[in-house]
Amino acid sequence: MSKIQFSVQVLLVSNLEVSKAYYEDVLGCEVTDWWAVRDDFRLGFKLIEANDPSDISPNKPGKGQDKSWDSYAYVETHNDLDEIYRQLKERGATIEQEPETYNFDWGTWKEFSIKDPDQYVIAFGSGKKLE
């Protein structure tokens, strides 16, 4: 069976040059004409400039949610998640949600999120099973 090698999130942005700079400088992506990819994160975006800034529409919280996400990246360990948080904060990321840990009967979930210039929320999370 054929497998998908990689997928990207398509984002409609208000200013392509501003978004390209953000994804390169803050997220550490390799940026081309409209691609922003960070291979070591396995994270990618296709940035398309909107015809009108009013066309930008980040997700709103869903039913029963108090947070919204436009992209969600899973990280293998809490330590890796902490390192990504540190890197992004040092690079000037706008922190939407500080790292939070949630306890479940199967273990713990930890997550944080950042916002890009168009208010898209990119979240990062990791799970740790009970031993």
What is the tens place of the pLDDT at every residue in 4-43? Answer: 777 889 999 999 999 999 999 999 999 998 899 988 778 8
Residue 58 lies in a domain: no
Residue 27 lies in a domain: yes
Residue 87 has pLDDT above 80, yes or no: yes
Contact partners, residue 95, CB within 8 Å, separation at least 6: 89, 112, 113, 114
Say how many domains are in the chain.
1
Q: What percent of the chain has pLDDT over 70?
A: 100
Q: Which residue has the tokens 């390209």?
A: 20
Q: Check if the beta carbon of residue 111 is closer than 8 Å to that of residue 97.
A: yes
Tell me how far apart the alpha carbons of residues 24 and 22 are, in angstroms, rounded to a whole number: 5
Contact partners, residue 54, CB within 8 Å, separation at least 6: none
| Reported pTM | 0.91
Q: Which residue has the higher pLDDT, 122 or 3?
A: 122
The domain in which residue 33 lies consists of 9-49+68-129
Residue 95 lies in a domain: yes
Tell me how far apart the alpha carbons of residues 29 and 25 are, in angstroms, rounded to a whole number: 8
At 103-120, the pLDDT tens digits run 999 999 999 999 999 999
Residue 15 sits in a domain whose CATH number is 3.10.180.10
